[in-house]
Structures are given as C-alpha cells and as structure tokens.
Structure 1
Amino acid sequence: MSSVPSPRPGSVPPHTPVTAAFEHDGCWVVQARGDLDSDTVDPLFIAMWEAAAGYDVVVLDATAVTFADSSFLSLLIQAHQQTRLRIAAPGPALRRLLSTAGVDHLLERYVTLEEALAAPH
C-alpha cells in the first residue's frame, strides 16, 4: 500500500473548501471539505480546472465533503470531460446526489483515497 503524502501546513488558506492539493505518482490530488454549493464551490472549481489542465488523472478526495448541490455536480461533470476524474471516499449524501442525477455509472468512484491512487492509469 502506498503512503499518501501529507500537505504542508499553511499551504491552503483557512475556510476554503480545498484543504490540500498535491501530486502523487502521476496523479493530482485535490482534497475537499465542507458544504459545496454555489456560494462555496469557486475555489474548488479553480483547483480542479488547474489540475485537469496539467494532469491526465485527477483524484478528488471527498472524504470531508458534508453537502453538495448541483453546482458541485456540474463541476464534477466538467472535470470528467477534461481529464480522468476519480472520486475518492464519497459519503452517503454525495453518492445519493450522483445516483439521483444519473451520473453514478459515469464517474469513477473509489471507497478510499488509497484505492483511487492505486487504480491503473
């Protein structure tokens, strides 16, 4: 099992939905947190857009995402169209959103961040 690097302290501003962003074995990892809706999703949108521009595989660690609405769903679909998106550790609310929208079969989901990182490129 590969070890996931820890983000540098202070590398992410406080009160942002993006807690860390880093390269791991050819993938770009973006860790998100909190409620992601039209009022809060912009920093995550920018982080994902930049990641998709530079990496063939982008992993979104959704472990700490507590709520997501259609703004976040739109972001996921756009990222999926730009790169190979892997969603790691989506909670029940996010899984329900993906299922209700009918994109759960389209987007790659993994139980843990480690599984998402270990999947073949």
Structure 2
Amino acid sequence: MTGARDAFQPGVVGDAYSAQGGWVVVARGELDQDTLAPLEEALTTAAGRYPLVVLDASSITFGDSSFLNLLLRLHHLTTLRIAVPGEQLRRLFALTGTDTVLSLHASVEEALAA
C-alpha cells in the first residue's frame, strides 16, 4: 500500500505497517468516544484488506467501553491480535471477561507469529 503510513491522522494512531502477511496498527494515548475515530478508521481499513490485524497497544494509556466495543467488532471482521496491552487495558479486559475472547500477546512479534 503506497502512502498507507500517511493515510491516518496523527494523534491516537502512531504508525501502521505491513508485517508477516498482516497489518500492524500502533495506537497511543487515551482512547474514548471523543478520540477513537482515527483508530477506528485505521483498524477497519486494515480489516478490509488484511486477514490479520495486530494492534500494538503498548502506548495506550486508557481505553473505555467504546474502545472495547471497537475491538470486539473488529474481532468479528478479521483475525485481531492485541500486542503489549498495559496494566489499565489488562484490567479492562479481565473485568469485562474479554480477555477470554480477544487474542492478547506479550509482543508484536508474538502476535504476528501466533
């Protein structure tokens, strides 16, 4: 994809790139209903083009129910793997039981290889 790295607004989407037959989206910051649109666009576009999408969550500091809803919707559209979720996200996933539904990984490399 030519120019794909420039296709998304700066902000919560830090980078996006092809890797091992999939697409990695790097997200950062606080993800809630007010900030989620660029990430939703990046992940939805990737899901339409790639059989595997990895969300690098290592720089996400907060995610709310709208973020969780986005992940669950994407989970049904493509193979979604979440790499390096921080403590807040791990708590969110555990409290909601989505840690048993979503595919969580310790690194981007592990997520790509799983």
**Do both proteins adopt the same fold according to a TM-score greater than 0.5, normalized to the shorter chain?**
yes
Alignment of 1:1-121 (within 5 A): 11=6, 13-14=9-10, 16-119=11-114
* CA apart distance, 1:25: 1.3
* CA apart distance, 1:13: 4.2
- Counterparts of 1:68 and 1:82 in 2: how far apart (Å)? 20
Question: Which amino acid letter does the alignment assign opposite residue 69 of structure 1?
Answer: D
Question: Which amino acid letter does the alignment assign opposite residue 118 of structure 1?
Answer: A
- Counterparts of 1:100 and 1:34 in 2: how far apart (Å)? 21
Structure 1: segments with no counterpart, 5+ residues: 1-7
CA RMSD of aligned residues (A): 1.5
Question: Which amino acid letter does the alignment assign opposite residue 86 of structure 1?
Answer: R
Find runs of 4+ consecutive structure 1 residues off by over 4 angstroms.
none
- Counterparts of 1:68 and 1:49 in 2: how far apart (Å)? 18
- Counterparts of 1:75 and 1:52 in 2: how far apart (Å)? 12
TM-score (norm 2): 0.91
Aligned length: 110
Residues 54, 83 of structure 2: 8 Å contact kept: yes
Question: Which amino acid letter does the alignment assign opposite residue 70 of structure 2?
Answer: L
Could you report, residue by residue, the CA deviation over 1:50-108 in whole angstroms, capped at 9, with x for unpaired residues? 01111111000000000000010001000001001000000010011111111111100
**Percent identity between the two aligned chains:** 50
- Is the helix fraction higher in 1 or 2? 2
- Counterparts of 2:52 and 2:9 in 1: how far apart (Å)? 24
